[in-house]
Structures are given as C-alpha cells and as structure tokens.
Amino acid sequence: MHKNWQKLIKSLHQKKYRQEEQLFLVEGAKSVAELLQYTQQFEVKAVFYTPEFYESYQTLLAAQDQTKVILQQTTATLLEASGTLQSNDGALAIVKIPNNLVANFANGYVLALSDIRDPGNLGTIIRIADWYGISQLLCSATTVDWYNPKVIIASMGSFLRVKPYYCDLVTYLQEIRQQTNLPIYGTTLEGENLHQTQFESQGIVVIGNESNGIAVDILPLLTHQITIPRFGKAESLNAGIATGIVCDNLARALKNI
C-alpha cells in the first residue's frame, strides 16, 4: 500500500476530511465482502485486502470493474496501521459518500434521530432499523456523522440497506405537520403506554438524545408521545435498546401479532 493511500485512509478517520474528500471507510472482511455486492448503490474507489481475504473472496474481487475500482493486495499490519480497527486481517475499502436523499414514506415508517451523539448507538440503531425493515432514518444536524468509522463498524453492514437524510429536524417536522397527516410519535417519559399504542400504517418515530431525550423544540411537533413502561428503578434506557423495543412493538402492531 503506497504511503499516499495510507495518508488518505488516516485522514478519513476525521469528519472534516471525510466531508472534504466525500469519502468514507469500510473495514473488516465481512463488511467489505458485503459492500462488494452493493456496487450498484455504492461507488467503491479502492479495496485493499490480505491474501486470506483473496482466498475467501477471489470470485467477488474478480467481478469488480477494475477500470473503476483499485484492487490491491496488502498486509494485515498495514491495514491495522492505516485503519481504525485494532485487528484487521481481511480488507479495507474506500467508498464515495452517497447523496443526502430526502426521505420518503412509501415503505411505511422512518425513524427520526434527535441529537444521537454516540457512534455505537447510531450503528446499533441502523442495524435495528434494517432488522425491522425500516429503510430510512432522518438525522438531526447534531446527530453523529453516519460515515464515522465507528458507526459503519457498529452497523455490521446494515448501512448498505438503510439510508440517512441529515436535515434541520425541527423545520422538516414542521413541514410534515403542515403538509401531511402523517403521525409523529416520540419517546418521552410522560407518554402513552407503548404496549397500548395504536400505530397508524405510516409515520415517523422520533428517538431522543442519550442523556436529554428529544429536543425541547421538537416536543410540540409530536402528535403522539409514547413511553416504554418501566417496571424497575433505572432512570433511563440506552438509545439503541429503546429503539429496539419501540420497533418491535411497532412491527407487532402493524402485523397484528
């Protein structure tokens, strides 16, 4: 791996350079192999891989258009030195950041994230959305960068199927309220019991910040406040766990399970 590639990869650890270059990293054998099956949706610029990765995925590598994608064998030592994983004996890919596409509600529900700051939580939420068939997330401008390497790793490949739309979330929800009849549900401590909520066939579910919940300027825009009933004494739930509980109840309600 040439030093210029190493320098570029290291720069993409930081949001500033990801935005300047419009590139992000995908690391690890499983994630890169899955990425290479989504090249119609993602523009892969380069893939660096170990001999072990080649042995397992040579057919997949051979299927890539080498006029568009740089394919280069390297060592695990260089992958680990350049990337963010402490252990990577598989592969690393450099990928173009897709366009920031406006959400649509053709598939029923989207999740809206109000100031989610932890990369691990965002990655987990992406996985949960993928599990429950939710294909788009609305993200406030203060939500952690979707293309942060820690987010991509925590999503375990689900970033390939779930798309973000970063926006001024207050303005977006105001427009939804003015232009449509879509319900906007939000998780609060004072809301209706989630287990008794009658969800409509389409809508938005807002998930709040890990420490402070949903932003105060978003609360008046909710059409329904919902609460996960508490049976013990914990003060709060992790944002990822709360999202999983809400999505499971939403799926059950919509499927009449």
Give every CB contact of residue 41 below 8 A, 6+ residues apart in sequence: 98, 160
d(CA 65, CA 62): 8
Neighbours of 236 (CB within 10 A): 14
Backbone angles phi, psi at 166, to 5 degrees: -85, 135
* Residues 6 or more apart whose Cβ sits within 8 Å of residue 87: 76, 80
Q: What is the CA radius of gyration of the chain?
A: 20
Q: What is the pTM of this model?
A: 0.93
- Quote the pLDDT of residue 177: 93
- Supply the pLDDT for residue 13: 97
Residue 199's SS3 state is coil
Sign of CA dihedral 79, 35, 248, 187: positive
Domains of the chain: 3-96 (3.30.1330.30), 109-255 (3.40.1280.10)
Q: How far apart are CA 27 and CA 56, in angstroms?
A: 16
Using 70 as the pLDDT threshold, list the residues of the chain that sit under it.
Answer: 256-257
Q: What is the pLDDT of residues 212-239, one digit of tens each?
A: 899 999 999 999 999 999 999 888 889 9
CA angle 185, 234, 122 (to 5 degrees): 50
Count CA atoms closer than 13 A to 21's CA, side-chain side.
21
User: Could you read off the pLDDT of 128-164 as tens digits, one per residue?
Assistant: 999 999 999 999 999 999 999 999 999 999 999 999 9
- Contact assessment for residue 126 and residue 155, using Cβ atoms and an 8 Å cutoff: yes
Please give the single-letter amino acid code of residue 248: D
- pLDDT at residue 174 in the model: 96
Distance between CA 13 and CA 61 in Å, rounded? 25
198 HSE (CA, 13 A, CB side): 0
Residues near 256 by beta carbon (within 8 Å), at least 6 away in sequence = none
pLDDT at 257: 44
Tokens of 237: 């739930």
Instruction: Give me the residue label for tokens 């892969």.
Output: 44
Taking the C-alpha atoms of residue 249 and residue 251, their distance in angstroms, rounded to an integer, is 5
pLDDT at 256: 60
